[in-house]
Every structure is written in C-alpha cells, then in structure tokens.
C-alpha cells in the first residue's frame, strides 16, 4: 500500500478516532500534525485530551508559551475529557492554576498532575474544586494545610504519589480544645462522597499527630511506601472490598466487608483490626523476615483464619520452619482454606540463589491441618524463570512492532 493511500485512509478517519490516537502523544506533537494536510490543520484545536509535558520542550519559557498558545487557540466549546500536566522544573503557582481552572471550566473528568522537580511546588487542595472530575492523580506536590480539603463530589478514583500534607499549627491548637472533632478534622476526603478507589503512595503527613480515613463508599484502598511516623492512623471503611499494603509500617483498620488483602513488605505488619468476617483472599509477602518477627507473623496469620485462598512467599515459610516449635502444638487457624500457594519472593528477583521449596511437616500441618482438602501449589524459581523468558520475548517483539509502525506512519505522512 502506497504512502499516499495510507495517508488518505488516515485522513478519512472520524475526528473522534483521530483524537483518540493523538491522545497518546503530547500536545506538542499533536499540534505538529497540522502541517500534514488541510484535513489535519485544525484537528488538534478540537482535541478533548490535553497532554502538557514540559520535558518535551527545550525550556520552561518555551513550554509556558506553547501551553498559552494552545489554550487560547483551542475550540472553547469542546469539553476537556482528560488533562495530563507534567512539570520538570520550577513554575509559578499562577501558571498551574490557569491550566487547572481551564480544565475545570471545561468539565474535565480525568486529571494527572506530576511535579518532578527538586523543590516541590505548593498546590493547595482548595485548587481542586470540580463537579465533573472523576479520576485524579497527583504526584510530588505539597499542601501547607490539611484544613483545605478537596471538594470533588463526582470523584471516584484518587491517587496521591509522594504528596506531603502539612497541618496548620493553629488548627492543631484548636483540636486540643475539642478532641471530639479530631477524626473529622483529619479526614481530608470528607468532601469526596463518591470516592471508590484511593491510593496513597509515599505520602507524608507533617505537623499532625495522626490521620483518619473514614469513608462510607470506599471499596479499593492501597497504601504504598508509607512510614507514617504518626501516633494514630485509623482507617474506617465499612464497604472496603480490596486492600493493598506495600512497604508500610502500621495501620488500624475497621473494614468488616473486606474480601481481598495483599501485603508486601520487608517486615511483618503491625495490623490492628476488628474482625474480618468476609475476608476470602490473602497474598502475604514478607521479604527477608527475621526470627524475632515469627510471633507477629503467626499472629497475622491467625487474623486471616476465614480465608479461602492464601498465598505466602517462600521466605515467610522458611522463617516459620526455623522456629517450628512456636506452631507445632497449635491448631491450624484455617478451617475454610481451599488453596495454598507458596512462591519465591518476587518475580523480578530471578537472580537470587536457587532454592528448593521444602515445607516441614509441622508447618504444612499448621497451614493445611484445618482444611485437608485444600490444594497446595509450589511455584519454584524454575517456573518463574520460564515465565520471565516468555515476557522478555513478548516485550522485545512489541518494541520492534512499535518501531516499525512509527517508521511507516512517519513515511506515509511525509509522502502525503
């Protein structure tokens, strides 16, 4: 097929499909398509997807000029479906506010703001006020006051990555006068009534004794890289279904409807919880556990006594085997278990010394004694290596295919 025919076929696509294709590139490259033909000249002005990436420009002034140009020339009647803003350098708060306000005024539904700069930019939570926004990802910003809460009534998904929140000293003094309002004051998500999914990754809470997350609608919750340093961290989520905790120190949880729990860390979790009557699936991965943590690990397993599907990493099994006397005389806590899976610590760590999966009878009896019909699956490093080889082949083939597609598209556009 000739380049001209391919170019004609691309130009014959409907605008919404072309917009979807251009949504995978930054606005700089989307605007550059205007030189391809008269058909493409104004396509970018009606794009509902705005990707502003400062790293694609030689300097921040060039970036700011391009953003201003796009916002001023864009078809103002077209709503903004999604905004991606990536900042690699020091920018003014006024500049960021102008972009956010434009998106909010055009009923944006998806928003991702990333601040990859040495000195974090202060973005007050009060900036994020929208009745249309449903999905928000915020990475690497600072807010100086937890008191300025989100006002996002339509929000369903929130991801905060390496965001630092500060508590005002005046507000802390007010709390001392009225401790009964402590939980409400610390609940920064109280004005996001429809939020279903929340991720806190590497976040910090400064100037406060603790944090409370109390939400009636939340069903998916993820904590990653959170060494809180707080006197209290309460999570009260009556409809929570899925909980993931990665590299966090502790949490006090009330989630009676929890069905799935994933935990991955370098040490056992200080997990304070009420009963978990609905819990069915647990994936427990404690990397390099030491003997001093065995009691905590056993206590953690006992809290999961209702689970039907249990996955445990090999290193956790090995540390139980090293002090088997702690469990040899205890009954198995698992009466409903259907499946037990034991796997190496991480798929990524295939370079580790090869280990054979050996389960002492006492440990096996402790885990399976209450459910003799449960299946036992041992995933060895050999299986992991086999999977990784297949993934490498697939990734390499996909990369080659993308290069070929890019080359064909560039050639066709030039011929057109």
User: Which of 69-83, 167-181, 257-271 bottoms out in mean pLDDT, i.e. has the lowest?
Assistant: 167-181
Q: What CA–CA distance (Å, rounded) separates 217 from 81? A: 24
Read off the pLDDT band of 379 (50, 70, 90): confident
Contacts 24+ apart (CB under 8 A), 360-366: 360/321, 360/324, 362/321, 362/324, 362/327, 362/328, 363/317, 363/320, 363/321, 363/324, 363/327, 365/332, 366/320, 366/327, 366/328, 366/330, 366/332
Q: What CA–CA distance (Å, rounded) separates 352 from 217? A: 42
- Which tokens sit at 333? 């806590």
Q: Look at residues 213, 220, 190, 201 and name the one whose alpha carbon lies nearest to residue 139.
A: 201
What does pTM read for this prediction?
0.81
For the chain, first and last CA: distance in Å? 13
| Residue length of the chain | 416
pLDDT confidence of residue 145: 58
Q: What CA–CA distance (Å, rounded) separates 211 from 233? A: 5
Read off the pLDDT band of 75 (50, 70, 90): very high
What integer is the mean pLDDT of 94-116? 94
CB 307 within 8 A of CB 278: no
List the beta strands (DSSP E) in 339-381: 339-343, 375-378
What integer is the mean pLDDT of 175-185? 45
Q: What CA–CA distance (Å, rounded) separates 218 from 238? A: 8
Torsion angles phi and psi, residue 245, rounded to 5? -125, 120
Q: Tell me how far CA of residue 409 lies from CA of 3, 39, 194, 303, 402, in angstroms.
A: 9, 16, 42, 56, 11
Name the residue with higher pLDDT: 275 or 403: 275
Write the DSSP string, 68-95. Answer: HHHHHHS-TTS--SEEEEEE-S---HHH
Read off the pLDDT band of 148 (50, 70, 90): low
Name the residue with higher pLDDT: 309 or 186: 309
Name the residue with higher pLDDT: 322 or 157: 157
Q: What CA–CA distance (Å, rounded) separates 373 from 336? A: 10
Model pLDDT for residues 198-212, shown as the tens digit of each residue: 999 988 877 777 778
Torsion angles phi and psi, residue 134, rounded to 5? -110, -30
Give the best-scoring range by mean pLDDT among 27-31, 50-54, 177-181: 50-54
Average pLDDT, the chain: 80
125-149 burial, b at 16+ Cβ within 10 Å, e below that, comes to bebbbbebbbbbbbbbbbbbbbbbb
């Amino acid at each position: 097929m000739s380049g001209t025919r391919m170019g004609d076929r691309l130009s014959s696509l409907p605008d919404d499909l072309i917009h979807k294709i251009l949504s995978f590139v930054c606005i700089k490259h989307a605007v550059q398509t205007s030189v391809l033909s008269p058909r493409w000249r104004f396509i970018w002005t009606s794009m509902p997807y705005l990707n502003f990436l400062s790293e694609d420009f030689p300097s921040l002034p060039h970036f700011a000029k391009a953003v201003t140009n796009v916002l001023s020339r864009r078809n103002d009647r077209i709503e903004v479906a999604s905004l991606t803003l990536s900042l690699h350098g020091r920018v003014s708060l006024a500049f960021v506010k102008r972009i956010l306000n434009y998106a909010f005024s055009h009923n944006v539904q998806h928003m991702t703001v990333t601040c990859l700069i040495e000195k974090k930019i202060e973005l007050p939570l009060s900036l994020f006020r929208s009745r249309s926004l449903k999905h928000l990802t915020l990475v690497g910003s600072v807010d100086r006051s937890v008191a300025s809460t989100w006002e996002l009534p339509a929000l369903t998904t929130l991801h905060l990555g390496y965001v630092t929140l500060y508590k005002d000293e005046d507000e802390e003094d007010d709390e001392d006068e009225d401790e009964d309002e402590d939980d409400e004051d610390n609940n920064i998500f109280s004005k996001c009534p429809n939020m279903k999914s929340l991720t806190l990754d590497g976040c910090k809470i400064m100037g406060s004794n603790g944090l409370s997350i109390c939400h009636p609608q939340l069903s998916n919750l993820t904590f990653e890289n959170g060494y809180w340093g707080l006197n209290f961290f309460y999570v009260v989520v009556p409809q929570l279904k899925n909980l993931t905790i990665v590299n966090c120190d502790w949490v006090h949880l009330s989630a009676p409807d929890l069905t799935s729990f994933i935990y991955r860390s370098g040490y056992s979790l200080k997990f304070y919880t009420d009963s978990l009557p609905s819990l069915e699936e647990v994936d427990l991965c404690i990397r390099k556990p030491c003997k001093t943590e065995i009691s905590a690990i056993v206590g953690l397993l006992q809290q999961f006594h209702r689970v039907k599907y249990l996955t445990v990493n090999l290193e956790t099994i090995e540390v139980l085997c090293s002090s088997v006397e702690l469990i040899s005389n205890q009954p198995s806590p698992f009466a409903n278990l259907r499946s037990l899976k034991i796997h190496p610590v991480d798929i990524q760590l295939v370079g580790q010394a090869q280990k054979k999966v050996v389960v002492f009878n006492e440990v096996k009896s402790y885990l399976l004694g209450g459910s003799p019909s449960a299946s036992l699956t041992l995933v060895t490093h050999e299986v992991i290596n086999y999977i990784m080889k297949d993934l490498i082949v697939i990734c390499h083939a996909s990369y080659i295919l993308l290069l070929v597609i890019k080359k064909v598209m560039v050639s066709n556009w030039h011929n057109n």
